[in-house]
């Protein structure tokens, strides 16, 4: 389906405007219904989940139960914003006064900050993983490097080791900072090891390898949470002398990008002040009694908050990396215009996507060795992502859904593009109607994509209840008034009342996504 996007026909302007209005209006109305539901059940949610006192909107509380947002907000207030600012100052001063030792200054600063953040013992864990990865890489055997990397990553999930590492810290937040740092560094160690196996002399002798691997691993803006940059790209871009770089980031563009990140942060905070979507998704009772529009608002709010959250979490380090002359991966694309599993993987976490393609998909043969190897390469890529995130049961379902979704989309694309089918489609269906048919097919794909993302964000129970509410049944209307008293025994079918309007709006979202790809702003 994606291959046909470049030849999509333009639709009448009025039709495209209608899709925009319906898409934007459905977002706002569903968010409003979720806001109303959140306020009506605020007392019960506060008793169960301890909502925090809000600070952006007078009289509103705040939903603090998204772990990532609360975790990184805590560290940003505590130290991270200051250390990132310190990196920018150190890097600018080094580039101006000692340009030949700029990378060395960044390395030293990154090691110092990492030591202060995760402690001497935590730093020792990261350096131990680095040393083992470097030693195994000297054998220039990709299979051994992969085995070492998987073994090191598996140590993050061994309960006795977890308890030992927890005992080093006074709070859970400090332990999780170490956990995240080691996990992200694991991807960097794999990148270095495989690049060294393929091109042993690119990073120089052993001393130079130690230097560049340490600089790459402890580059402070990307150290804790990414985004992921391959060792090859980091090495090539960092070796460019300061005087030979292209146009520098101007003060106005720096100010504009900083302001954009602040707007994203405000949007994320406003969302958790106005809609308690994370506390609602954690309680099956509330999921069962949500009105249909609020149910749709919950699904959209969860995936949109995930998107805006990563605009902030990736936007800040990407801004600083750009100041250092690096070309970080593109920021995530809006999930509301994602209309395929393939597009979601290509355009959300772009750094991780390129990492998976370079180090798993292509080395295993990808699409160049037939359908079975393509299926195997894709399955192992999703399997690794599941393992890297922790390998929990809900992650296994999420990875399986994504694998099947990508395979089905590719299968449909191959079928439609085949010489036996495409000429008939081209002869019988007008270009504009072909685009509408593509958007209709994409609506079903988007529905499954959102469902898989809800499983990733909320767990199996969220996906199970969403599937039941949308495609099987809608809960008894009297439950909306009183969850304990319900005299109605007749249930209406969800497919008749919820699924058609949902697919209609997803069709509009898909049309906007196709328009965005066909005529990017």
Length of the chain (residues): 521
Task: Assign 3-state DSSP to the chain and report helix, strand, coil percentages, each to 5.
Answer: 75, 0, 20
* Exposure of 241 in the CB half-sphere (CA atoms within 13 A): 4
Beta-carbon count within 10 A of 208 CB: 12
Taking a C-beta distance cutoff of 8 angstroms, is the pair 364, 382 a contact?
A: no
∠ CA 125-126-130, rounded to 5°:
115
Q: Please, are residues 181 and 118 in contact by the beta-carbon 8 Å criterion?
A: yes
Residue 504 token pair: 């209609």
Distance CA 124, CA 419 (A): 59
DSSP letter at 363?
A: T
Q: How many CB atoms lie within 10 A of CB 265?
A: 19
Q: Cα separations (Å) of 362 from 309, 359, 376, 399?
A: 30, 7, 11, 19
Closest CA to 80 of 117, 127, 108: 117
Buried b / exposed e along 419-457 (16+ C-beta atoms within 10 A)? eeeeeeeeeeeeeeebbbebbebbbebbbbbbbbbbbbb
Q: Is 389 a catalytic residue?
A: yes
Distance of CA 248 to the CA centre of its chain: 28
Catalytic residue among 389, 461, 478, 518: 389
The candidate with the shortest Cα–Cα distance to 32, out of 309, 311, 308, 300, is: 300
Q: Which two tokens stand for residue 219?
A: 């580059």
- Which amino acids are annotated catalytic? 389
């Amino acid at each position: 389906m994606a291959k046909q996007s470049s030849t999509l026909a333009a639709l009448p302007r009025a039709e495209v405007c209608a899709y925009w209005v319906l898409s934007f209006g459905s977002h706002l109305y569903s968010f409003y219904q979720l806001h109303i539901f959140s306020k009506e059940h605020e007392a019960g949610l506060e008793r169960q989940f301890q909502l925090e006192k809000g600070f952006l909107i007078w009289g509103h509380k705040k939903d603090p139960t998204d772990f990532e947002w609360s975790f990184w907000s805590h560290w940003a207030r505590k130290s991270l914003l200051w250390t990132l600012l310190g990196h920018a100052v150190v890097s600018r001063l080094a580039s101006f006064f000692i340009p030949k030792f700029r990378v060395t200054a960044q390395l030293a600063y990154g090691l110092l900050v990492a030591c202060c953040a995760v402690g001497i013992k935590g730093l020792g864990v990261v350096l131990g993983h680095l040393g083992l990865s470097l030693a195994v890489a000297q054998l220039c055997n990709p299979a051994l490097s992969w085995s070492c990397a998987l073994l090191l990553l598996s140590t993050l999930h061994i309960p006795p080791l977890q308890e030992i590492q927890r005992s080093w810290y006074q709070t859970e937040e400090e332990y999780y900072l170490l956990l995240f740092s080691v996990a992200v560094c694991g991807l960097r160690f794999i990148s270095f090891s495989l690049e060294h196996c393929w091109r042993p002399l690119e990073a120089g002798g052993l001393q130079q390898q130690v230097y560049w691997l340490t600089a790459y691993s402890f580059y402070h803006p990307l150290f804790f949470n990414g985004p992921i940059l391959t060792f090859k790209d980091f090495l090539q871009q960092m070796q460019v002398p300061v005087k030979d770089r292209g146009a520098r980031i101007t003060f106005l563009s720096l100010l504009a990008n900083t302001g954009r990140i602040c707007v994203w942060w405000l949007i994320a905070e406003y969302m958790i002040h106005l809609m308690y979507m994370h506390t609602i998704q954690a309680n099956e009772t509330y999921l069962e009694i949500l009105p249909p529009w609020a149910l749709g608002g919950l699904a959209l709010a969860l995936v949109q908050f995930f998107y805006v959250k990563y605009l902030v979490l990736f936007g800040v380090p990407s801004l600083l990396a750009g100041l250092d002359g690096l070309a970080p991966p593109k920021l995530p694309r809006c999930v509301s215009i994602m209309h395929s599993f393939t597009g979601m993987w290509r355009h959300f976490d772009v750094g991780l996507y390129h990492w998976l393609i370079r180090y798993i998909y292509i080395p295993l043969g990808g699409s160049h060795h037939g359908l079975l190897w393509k299926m195997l390469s894709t399955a192992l890529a999703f399997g690794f992502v599941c393992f890297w995130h922790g390998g929990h049961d809900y992650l296994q379902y999420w990875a399986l859904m994504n694998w099947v979704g990508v395979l089905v989309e590719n299968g449909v694309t191959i079928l439609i593009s085949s010489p036996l089918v495409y000429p008939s489609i081209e002869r019988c269906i007008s270009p504009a109607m072909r685009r509408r048919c593509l958007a209709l097919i994409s609506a079903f794909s988007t529905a499954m994509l959102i469902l898989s993302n809800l499983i990733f964000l909320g767990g199996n129970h969220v996906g199970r209840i969403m599937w039941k509410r949308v495609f099987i049944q809608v809960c008894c209307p009297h439950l909306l008034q009183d969850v304990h008293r319900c005299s109605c025994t007749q249930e209406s079918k969800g497919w008749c009342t919820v699924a058609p309007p949902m697919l209609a709006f997803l069709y509009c979202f898909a049309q906007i996504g196709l328009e965005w790809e066909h005529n990017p702003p």
